[in-house]
Amino acid sequence: MFSTLLNIVIPVFAVVAVGFAFGRRQKNPDMGFVNLANVAVFCPALVFSALIDNPVSISSSWPLIVAAVLVILIPGLLLSLLTFKGLERRTLVLGGMFRNTGNIGIPLMMLAYGEDKMGAIIILFVLSNVIHFSLGLFILSHQAGRWQWLKNPIVWAAVLGLLLADHRTVLPDFIYTSAELLGQISVPLMLFALGVRLSSGEVGDLGLAFKVNISYLLAGSLSLLMVAWWLPLTAEWLQLLALSVILPPAVLNYLLCEQYQCQPNKMASIVLLGNVMSVLTIPIVIYLTLTFF
């Protein structure tokens, strides 16, 4: 089991570490074009091809979909009741609701639980994106566009993948093959870009960042217990949800806080320390889920 765990976790963090080292060596390289290409082309291709190869039935997967939404909303509600000195409530809530389901979540879940779960993994990723670019932006600024998620190509790739999954003959095979090739670029590039982004961050006020991340883990764990009690979830779905709620805060939280002037330095510290802490928490959760689920 230990060697299996190492084979799951080390490749993911190794690629992040390479990106981190590259970012430090190049002194904060401009990854704007690379990240834009990943969001606009490679990630949508991954979502589309994953849903084509691993069809998801919305009618039979409704417990997973409801649970995926609740493990985002419940931590937000719980965290809104807390107060940390010097930290705005919107900063606290945003980081606790939206985890790194893309950069770290997709490769970890795929390696830990199998590529045949990609359809369900992608559903978690897409739902998080939709809520992040709707409710998440509204939390940061009431003037932010509530329909920004409609401009997200990942959402439309998911819609197209769901519609064509049972009708593959509508399009020629070379389109699916091309999408699969483009999608294969996405995951390693996400991990590498995450490392580069983290290399430019600095941890300030370690005590606050640590307490906030502990509150995130507790809120996420409590939300998991609630949905496991309320909904008829399979063991495979519980594995995915258990890992998703203890993932570190998404780097996108920092970028959005920077854009909307919502304590970006504090969010950077929370995100960076959360990713460091995940080196310990992720292997533990993967071990537990593989053992007991």
CA distances to 28, 40, 135, 189 from 262, rounded to whole Å, are 22, 26, 16, 27
What are the pLDDT digits (tens) for 17-26?
999 999 988 8
Walk me through the domains of the chain, giving residue ranges and CATH numbers: 2-24+32-292 (1.20.1530.20)
In this structure, which long-range contacts are made by residues 132-135, counting pairs with CB atoms below 8 Å and at least 24 apart in sequence? Answer: 132/98, 132/250, 132/252
Question: Is pLDDT at 235 greater than 90 in this prediction?
Answer: yes
pLDDT at 258: 80
Contact 280, 210 (CB under 8 A): no
What are the pLDDT digits (tens) for 108-166?
999 999 989 999 999 999 999 999 988 998 888 876 656 777 788 989 999 999 899 88
Lowest mean pLDDT among 1-5, 221-225, 250-254: 1-5
Contact 48, 157 (CB under 8 A): yes
Phi, psi values for residue 55, rounded to 5°: -55, 140
Q: 162 by DSSP, 3-state: which?
A: helix
Tell me how far apart the 2 most distant CA atoms of the chain are, in Å.
58
CA angle 201, 123, 254 (to 5 degrees): 15
